[in-house]
C-alpha cells in the first residue's frame, strides 16, 4: 500500500511539473515560469478606514495619532497557457514585503520591514486584470514609525509582491522602488537586488512578520468581495492542490 501511495505521489508531481515545462516551452514570448503572472501595476498610498453602519453597534474612531491605513495595491494578469481554454491556478500564495525608512530613538537611520501573505484558493488564468491588496494598520505605524516627519509616500523605501504556486514555484513578481512601480528591465534588476537585502536580518532593521495584513483581516474584507479572488486560510501545505488544472 505504501509503495502505491508513493508511486501515485511521484506521478502527480511529474504531471504537474510537466504541465509547467510544456507551457514554458510552447510560449515563445515567455522568459520563465515567473511570467505566468504578469504584474501590471503596484502602488502605495493611504486610506481612511471604511465605515459600515450596523444596528445596535456604534462606531468608535481610532485613538491613534495618525489614523490612516497604508494600502498596497497590486494589479496582475494570470496568463493562459497555450492550448488550454479553461485553465486555473490553484493554491496560489501572494507574498508581500514593504520597507519603511524611519529612525531609532537616537535619530539614527532605521528600516521597518513588514511582511505578509495571502493564500488564494483558485485563480482563473483568464488574462484579465486581477487585484491583490495588503494593508498596514495605523496602530503599527504609530508604534514603529519613530520619525517625526508627517506620513507621505517618501517614507516608503521599496516594496515587492511575489506569487507562488505549489512547491514554491514563482509565478510572477513586481516591485515598487524610487517612488514608483518598476517597469524597465534594468530598473527591475536594481529593485530586485535592493529588496533582496531585506530577506535577511540586519542590526538596523525591525522585522514585523505579519505586519502586512491580508484583505480578509481588515475593514476592507467585505468590499468588492465578488470581484476579489477567493481567499482561504486553515489549510496545511500537505493539502495543497495541483497547480494548473486543465
Q: Is the pLDDT of residue 232 over 70?
A: yes
Q: Is the pLDDT of residue 242 over 70?
A: no
Lowest mean pLDDT among 22-36, 54-68, 169-183, 221-235: 22-36
Report DSSP state, residue 240: -
Q: Which three cell numbers stand for residue 83?
A: 492550448
**What pLDDT does 103 receive?**
87
* Torsion-angle region of 168 (φ positive above 0: left; ψ -120 to 50: alpha; else: beta): left
CA nearest 169: which of 229, 238, 87, 89? Answer: 89
Report DSSP state, residue 160: E
Residue pair 34/170 in contact (Cβ under 8 Å)? The answer is yes
User: Within the chain, how many helices (H) and strands (E) appear?
Assistant: 3, 11
What is the rounded CA–CA span in Å between residue 127 and residue 119? 20
CA nearest 72: which of 115, 132, 157, 158? Answer: 132
Question: Which distant-in-sequence residues (6+ apart) come within 8 Å of 120 by Cβ?
Answer: 91, 92, 93, 94, 229, 230, 231, 232
> How far is residue 147 from each of residues 31, 100, 103, 114, 123, measured CA to CA in Å?
42, 10, 5, 17, 40
- The position carrying cell 478606514 is 49
Q: 176 — phi, psi (to 5°)?
A: -120, 125
**What pLDDT does 150 receive?**
83
Q: Is the pLDDT of residue 142 over 70?
A: yes
32 vs 232, higher pLDDT: 232
What is the rounded CA–CA span in Å between residue 208 and residue 198? 12
HSE, side-chain direction, 13 A CA sphere, residue 47: 17
Lowest mean pLDDT among 4-13, 61-70, 229-238: 4-13
pLDDT in tens, 124-135: 999 999 999 999
Residue 245 — very low, low, confident or very high, per pLDDT cuts 50/70/90? very low
What is the rounded CA–CA span in Å between residue 195 and residue 175? 9
pTM: 0.76
Amino acid at each position: 500500500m505504501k509503495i502505491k501511495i508513493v508511486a501515485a505521489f511521484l506521478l502527480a508531481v511529474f504531471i504537474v511539473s510537466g504541465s509547467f515545462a510544456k507551457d514554458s516551452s510552447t510560449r515563445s514570448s515567455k522568459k520563465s515560469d515567473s511570467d505566468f503572472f504578469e504584474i501590471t501595476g503596484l502602488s502605495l498610498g493611504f486610506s481612511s478606514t471604511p465605515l459600515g453602519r450596523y444596528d445596535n453597534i456604534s462606531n468608535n474612531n481610532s485613538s491613534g495619532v495618525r489614523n490612516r491605513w497604508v494600502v498596497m495595491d497590486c494589479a496582475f494578469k494570470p496568463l493562459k497557457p497555450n492550448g488550454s481554454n479553461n485553465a486555473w491556478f490553484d493554491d496560489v500564495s501572494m507574498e508581500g514585503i514593504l520597507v519603511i525608512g524611519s529612525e531609532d530613538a537616537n535619530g539614527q537611520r532605521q528600516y521597518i520591514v513588514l511582511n505578509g501573505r495571502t493564500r488564494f484558493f483558485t485563480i482563473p488564468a483568464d488574462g484579465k486584470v486581477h487585484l491583490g491588496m495588503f494593508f498596514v494598520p495605523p496602530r503599527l505605524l504609530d508604534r514603529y514609525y519613530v520619525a517625526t516627519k508627517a506620513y507621505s509616500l517618501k517614507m516608503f523605501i521599496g516594496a515587492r509582491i511575489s506569487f507562488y504556486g505549489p512547491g514554491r514555484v514563482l509565478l510572477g513578481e513586481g516591485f515598487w522602488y524610487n517612488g514608483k512601480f518598476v517597469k524597465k528591465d534594468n530598473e527591475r534588476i536594481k529593485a530586485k537586488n535592493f529588496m533582496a537585502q531585506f530577506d535577511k536580518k540586519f542590526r538596523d532593521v525591525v522585522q514585523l512578520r505579519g505586519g502586512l495584513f491580508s484583505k480578509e483581516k481588515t475593514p476592507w474584507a467585505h468590499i468588492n468581495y465578488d470581484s476579489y479572488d477567493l481567499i482561504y486560510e486553515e489549510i496545511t501545505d500537505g493539502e495543497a492542490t495541483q497547480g494548473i488544472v486543465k
